Structure 1
Amino acid sequence: MKILVGYVPTPEGEAALDAAAAEARLRGASVMLLNTSRGDTYLHTRYANAEELAAAEARLRAHGVEVTIQQAVSSGDVANELLKAAAAEEVGLIVLGLRRRSPVGKLILGSTAQRVLLESPVPVLAVKVPSPHD
């Protein structure tokens, strides 16, 4: 089995990475880390640089998890990139990090997460960043 984690170098991305590692160990699965963004160049802030990708890879490998990394320039549709990768790689689970939202923001789930949750043919694990009060 393969687990796809949508990774960005943010606290949400780190939470998704940790959850993917835990699921991979539990299921005896490998992880495919996909870093993409709404930006159209590798200079966009959501793209992980080589150092960030190496740290993410080392973090997964420290947990005994086999990992492959893909980085793609998106056409602006991150959900499509994640769903396309999930289909091409025949993954069994997608892991995404969610941002905390204000009460008003909670009425609308992030568009990327919402599309992946609604359109994914495989289960999706949505992870939030633990708050200091948890």
Structure 2
Amino acid sequence: MTEQQEPVVVVGLVPNPRGQAALAHGLREARLRGARLVVVNASRGDALVDEEYLQGEALTRLHEELAGSGVPTEVRQPVHGRDVAEELATVVAETSAELLVIGMRRRSAVGKLLMGSAAQRILLEVDCPVLAVKAPPREP
């Protein structure tokens, strides 16, 4: 008899409004599915300062938000020199995730056609459904 693995939802997090939208939707999906949430905030490690890599107070705030969510969570911050699509595909495979949540940029008509290289690579590389969310529109 095989032990049933707990469901997992993975979120790709960058510290901006679309990353926050992805996190909010990931938490919602994890609650609905009774799943563990794995938050991935990756860096290639090829720059002295990576503004998309959470550190210090921003990382502390993330841990506090997750602790208060009522959802079992884990934060992974890999620095392996790989791009975000590779990192997310690796975590999805390692956890047998049933859903990946990513934030999307709002784009022009041409940008929508091309979708964005990172998003396109993610869609092609992961082996689970992907929920792409946009940040709420900015206030005028």
Q: TM-score, normalised by structure 1?
A: 0.89
One-letter code of the match for 1:19? H
Q: Higher Cα Rg: structure 1 or 2?
A: 2
Alignment of 1:1-134 (within 5 A): 1-38=7-44, 40-41=46-47, 43-132=49-138
What's 2:3 paired with? none
Q: Are the counterparts in 1 of residues 25 and 101 from structure 2 also a CA contact under 8 Å?
A: yes
What's 2:4 paired with? none
Runs of 4+ with deviation above 4 angstroms: none
Residue 49 and residue 109 in structure 1: after superposition, are their counterparts in 2 closer, same or farther (change >3 A)?
same
SS of the equivalent of 2:107 reads coil
What stretches of structure 2 of length at least 5 have no aligned partner?
A: 1-6
SS of the equivalent of 1:55 reads helix
State the distance in 2 between where 1:127 and 1:116 align. 14
Q: Are the counterparts in 2 of residues 2 and 32 from structure 1 also a CA contact under 8 Å?
A: yes
The Cα shift of 1:123 comes to 0.7
State the distance in 2 between where 1:24 and 1:42 align. 34
Q: Are the counterparts in 1 of residues 45 and 79 from structure 2 also a CA contact under 8 Å?
A: yes
Q: Are the counterparts in 2 of residues 83 and 120 from structure 1 also a CA contact under 8 Å?
A: yes
Question: How many equivalent residue pairs?
Answer: 133
One-letter code of the match for 1:127? V
- Most deviating of 123-132 and 20-29: 123-132
Q: TM-score, normalised by structure 2?
A: 0.85
Percent identity (aligned) = 46
CA RMSD of aligned residues (A): 1.8
Q: Are the counterparts in 1 of residues 43 and 77 from structure 2 also a CA contact under 8 Å?
A: no
SS of the equivalent of 2:11 reads strand
State the distance in 1 between where 2:100 and 2:59 align. 18
What stretches of structure 1 of length at least 5 have no aligned partner?
A: none
